[in-house]
Amino acid sequence: MSKGKVYDYLMSVLQEKGCGHMTLIDPDFGPPEKLAGIAAGAEAGGTDAIMLGGSGGDRSKMDETAKRIKEETSVPLILFPGNVNDVTPEADAIFFMSLMNSRSRYWLSLAQTFAAFTVKQMGIEPIPMSYLVIESDKRTSVEFYGDVNPIPREKPKIAAAFALAAQYLGMKLVYLEGGSGARQSVPEEMIRFVSRIVDIPVIVGGGITTPEEAGRKVKAGASFIVTGTAVEKSKDPEKTVKSIIKAMRG
Confidence of residue 239 (pLDDT cuts 50, 70, 90): very high
Mind listing the domains of the chain with CATH numbers? Answer: 6-249 (3.20.20.390)
Distance CA 223, CA 246 (A): 15
Confidence of residue 183 (pLDDT cuts 50, 70, 90): confident
Tell me: pLDDT of 2 over 70: no
Q: At 139, is the secondary structure helix, strand, or coil?
A: coil
Q: What is the pTM of this model?
A: 0.95
Tell me: pLDDT of 71 over 90: yes
Confidence of residue 58 (pLDDT cuts 50, 70, 90): low
**CA torsion through residues 208, 212, 213, 214, sign:** positive
Tell me: pLDDT of 19 over 80: yes
Residue 86 CA, chain-centre distance (Å), reads 14
Share the mean pLDDT of the chain: 94
